[in-house]
Structure 1
Amino acid sequence: MADTIRQFAIVTGASAGIGYELAKQCAQNGFDLLVAADNAEIEQAAAAFRKLGAKVEAVQADLSGPEGVDKLYHAIGARKVDALLANAGRGLGHGFLDQDPAAWRAVVDTNITGTLLLLQKVGRDMRAAGAGRILITGSIAGFLPGTYQAVYNGTKAFLDSFSFALRHELWGKGVSVTCLMPGATETDFFETADMMDTKVGQAKKDDPAMVAQVGFKAMMNGEGDVVAGWHNKLQTAIASVTPSGVLAEMHRNMAQPKNPAA
C-alpha cells in the first residue's frame, strides 16, 4: 500500500544469481534496497528492482577488503538497516597446488574477510538499535571436504560455522542471524570458477529464484539455518554420518576437471 513504510535492506552480490533473486524478494516484500556487486551489471539489476516498486541505490565495489566495504557502508548514511543479506562470494576450481595464489586469496578475502568486515559494521549498528535481520549465504559445500574445490569449500565451512556462533552471540538482542545453505545452483558460479569441464559443472542445478525464496522466508521467520532443496537436505544428512575420506572422494568424482594437472 502507498502509505506503508518500507524497510531497508542491503544485498551484496546482487547483480546476478542468488543475490539478484534475494534482492528481488526484498523489493517484492516491502524493502527499499542498497545493492552491491563488483561489476557494472549492478546498475542494470538496480533498474530492474526499481520496477518492482522499491527505492534502490547501487554501489559497484570490490567487497574483498576494507576499501570496498567502507564504500558500501558509507552509502548507508543515516539509514537504519533492517536486513543485511551478505551474499557476495567467489568460487575456484582445480587442484590447490595448481592455483594462482592471487586467485585463492581472492576467494578467501571475498567470502570471509570482506563478509566479516561488513557483518561487523552493520551488525554493531543493528545491536545498538536492538533490531535487525542478517542472512549469510553459506553452502552445503561447507559440509564436504572440497577435493578440487578445497579453498571454496573451506570458506563455506567457515561461514556456516560462523553464522551459528554469531546468532548465539546476538541472542536476546533483537537481531536474528540466518544461514542459507544452497547446493549447486544455476548461476554463473561454475563458469567463473572454471569448473564447466566437471560433472558438477555440467549437471542439472537448482533454480536461484527457489533458493532465494527459501532463504528470504527463513530470514523473515528468524530461523537459524535453512538448506534449499530436498536433495540438498538429504546430502547434508548423509554427510553428517559419512567419514570425511569418503566424502572427499565423492567430491573428487564430481569436481575433478577432465584434464587435471599432474
Structure 2
Amino acid sequence: MSQKKPLAMITGSSSGLGLELAKQFAQNGYDVAISGSSDRIFEAAETLREYGIEAYPLKADASTYDGVEDFWTFVSKLDRPVDAAVLNVGVGLGGAFVDTDLDDELRLISINITGLVHMTKRVVKHMISHKNGKILIVSSISATQPTPYETVYGPSKAFGFSFAESLRQELLETGITITALLPGATDTNFHSNAGMGSSQIGSSKKNDKTLVAKQGYEALMNNEDHVVGGDAETKQIAIDNRTIPEPVKAARHAKQARLQNEKK
C-alpha cells in the first residue's frame, strides 16, 4: 500500500520548521524521506509514522558534499519517484562581521548556498526524467532586506530566493514547479542556535511554526511563485520592503539584530 503513496523528501527535518513541513506532507498522505544532522531525525520519523505513512530517516551532515550526496543516494535507493522536495536546510549566524568566525561563515555558505544548489541539481534532474514534481525552497524574509549583524546569513537567503525565482522560469514547460517560502521570525530554536538569543529579534514574539509550514505547503500545492510565512504583520513587512530604501531597512535590522553586548 505504501508504494501507492506519493513520496516527499524534506531536508533539515529533525525539528523546527522542517519537521512541521514534513508533518504537512504526512497529514496529506505522503510518505517522507527526511534528513537531519543529529539522532533526533530518528525520533522525528517515529512522530511522522503516527500519521499512517512511512518515514525514511537519514542522519547526514548538510555542510559537506558527501553529506548532501549521501541523502540523495539514500532517497534514490528507495527506487520511487520523488513527487515533492522541500529544501529546508539552513543555518544562521548572528554578531558583528568583524567578530564572527570565518569558519562559521564558510560553513553557513556551504549549507545555505552550496548545499542548496547541490541538492537542487540532483532533484531537478530526477524530476525532469519523470516530467513531474514540486520543489519548495525555504528562504527567509531576510531575503528582502539588508541584514547587518547577520551579514552573511541574509545574503545567503537572498541567493536562495533569487535561485528559486530563476529556476522556476527555466522549468515552466517541464511539469516541475518551484515555490519559495520566506518565513518571518518563527517559534523554533533558529535564533538561539545562531547566537542571537539576546537580540531584539531573538526575544521578540514569533510566528507559529505550524502556520508557517501550512502556508508553505499550500503555496507549493497551488503552484504559487512564493509565499511569506507568518502573520499579517510579517506579510506587511515584506510588502513594505519593496519600497523602503535599503539604508533605512539596514538601520532597522541593525537595531533588531544587534546583540546586547555589541556597540552601536
- TM-score for both structures, normalised by structure 2: 0.96
Q: Which amino acid aligns with 1:173?
A: T
**Deviation string, structure 1 residues 171-211 (Cα, Å, up to 9, x no partner):** 11000000011100000001110001111100000011000
Match of 1:91, SS state, is: coil
Change in 2 beyond 3 A, CA 1:261/1:61: farther
- Is the 1:65–1:113 Cα contact (8 Å) retained in structure 2? no
Q: What is the aligned partner in structure 2 of residue 92 from structure 1?
A: 93
* Alpha-carbon separation, structure 1, partners of 2:142 and 2:115: 19
**Deviation string, structure 1 residues 22-50 (Cα, Å, up to 9, x no partner):** 00001110110110011111010011001
* Alpha-carbon separation, structure 2, partners of 1:3 and 1:48: 17
* Alpha-carbon separation, structure 2, partners of 1:57 and 1:129: 21
Q: What is the aligned partner in structure 2 of residue 215 from structure 1?
A: 216
Q: What is the aligned partner in structure 2 of residue 10 from structure 1?
A: 9
Q: Number of aligned pairs?
A: 261
Matched ranges for 1:113-132 at <5 A? 113-132=114-133
- TM-score for both structures, normalised by structure 1: 0.97
Question: Unpaired segments of 5 or more residues in structure 1?
Answer: none
* Alpha-carbon separation, structure 2, partners of 1:73 and 1:19: 17
Q: What is the aligned partner in structure 2 of residue 158 from structure 1?
A: 159
Shift of 1:4: 9.1
Q: Which amino acid aligns with 2:62?
A: L
Percentage of pairs with the same residue: 36
- Is the 2:7–2:84 Cα contact (8 Å) retained in structure 1? yes
Q: What is the aligned partner in structure 2 of residue 239 from structure 1?
A: 241
Q: Give the ranges of 4+ consecutive aligned residues of structure 1 lying more than 4 Å apart after TM superposition.
A: none
Match of 1:135, SS state, is: strand
- Pairwise CA RMSD of aligned residues? 1.3
Q: What is the aligned partner in structure 2 of residue 47 from structure 1?
A: 46
**Deviation string, structure 1 residues 123-147 (Cα, Å, up to 9, x no partner):** 1110121000000001110111001
Q: What is the aligned partner in structure 1 of residue 257 from structure 2?
A: 255
Q: Which amino acid aligns with 1:230?
A: A
Match of 1:241, SS state, is: coil
* Alpha-carbon separation, structure 2, partners of 1:127 and 1:207: 34
Shift of 1:79: 1.6
Q: Which amino acid aligns with 2:252?
A: M
* Alpha-carbon separation, structure 2, partners of 1:170 and 1:64: 27
- Is the 1:33–1:57 Cα contact (8 Å) retained in structure 2? yes
* Alpha-carbon separation, structure 1, partners of 2:2 and 2:135: 26
- Is the 2:2–2:31 Cα contact (8 Å) retained in structure 1? no
The answer on 1:70 being equivalent to 2:73 is no
- Is the 1:130–1:174 Cα contact (8 Å) retained in structure 2? yes
Change in 2 beyond 3 A, CA 1:65/1:4: closer
Range that drifts further, 230-239 or 179-188: 230-239
The answer on 1:23 being equivalent to 2:28 is no
